[in-house]
Amino acid sequence: MIIFHMSGSGQIQLWQFLLELLSDSGNAGCITWEGTNGEFKLTDPDEVARRWGERKSKPNMNYDKLSRAL
């Protein structure tokens, strides 16, 4: 599993968080690699958004908000 250190500002970037989830096969219920070209699929986008909100201390995070950052 990959765990990223915080950037100079002390905040993890969304792409780092997604890569962290993708590196752990235990997260296959919510995000998985798709094919061989670096594509991934959010199999449970609401769960990914919930976890992102938890990481960022934003309990109102939802997929609509997360998708804007993608």
* pTM greater than 0.85: no
pLDDT for residue 2: 53
The upper half-sphere exposure of residue 6, i.e. CA atoms within 13 Å in the direction of its Cβ, equals 6
pLDDT in tens, 13-58: 999 999 999 999 999 999 999 988 999 999 999 999 999 999 999 9
Tokens of 2: 């990959």
Checking if the pLDDT of 4 tops 80, the result is: no
Q: Compute the residue count for the chain.
A: 70
DSSP string, 40-58: EE-SSHHHHHHHHHHHTT-
Domains in the chain with CATH codes: 14-68 (1.10.10.10)
